[in-house]
Amino acid sequence: MKKWFWLLGLIVFLSSGCVKENQLTTTAGTEGLIEVELLTVIDGDTIKVKYNGKTETIRYLLIDTPEVRHQTLGNQPLGDEASSRNKQLLEDATVSLEFDVGDRYDDFGRLLAYVYADGESVQQVLLQEGLARVAYVFAPNTRHLDSFEEAETIARQADLNIWQYEQ
């Protein structure tokens, strides 16, 4: 009898919306780009889009940009510039997502993806321009890690933007 109550409780919990169904799963990844509607740019590595008929917060895979309006860090050097550049890249572009093979959502409920503007990797551009660093590397979401690390190395060696501060 206890098993039935436990199972019933689990079913009620899962169907209650406390946990998004697709947060429990991983994806097989995508090789192609999935076009989405850009709603807003939050900062240098986070945006809101319309995907599959829902508003989703997208967290860029494999990069980190300086913080803006952070609760404890405040505004970090070049945070506003990274946010502005992200917005500039996406504003009048066709925005697309690419998923990797690992978890689809992070611990904050944000959809994890590679982001493209007119087919060009936004992460790659931010790294090349020294407005992002490679970070939050969690296998198996590492499809573009090698090229991202190369772009970061070039920006670091040239002391571009954030690399003037982080040595």
Per annotation, catalytic residue among 67, 81, 98, 152: 67
Give yes or no: 67 in active site: yes
Sign of the torsion formed by the C-alpha atoms of 117, 119, 123 and 127: negative
Q: Please indicate whether residue 133 is annotated as part of the active site.
A: no
CB 65 within 8 A of CB 148: no
Q: How far apart are CA 22 and CA 112, in angstroms?
A: 12
Is the distance from CB of 82 to CB of 65 less than 8 angstroms? yes
Q: Can you tell me whether residue 73 is helix, strand or coil?
A: coil
Candidates 110, 133, 143, 152; catalytic one: 110
Q: Token pair for residue 59?
A: 């967290």
> For residue 47, which phi and psi values (nearest 5 degrees)?
-140, 165
Residue-wise DSSP of 105-151: B-TTSPEEEEEEETTEEHHHHHHHTTS-EE----TT--TTHHHHHHH
Active site residues: 59, 67, 110
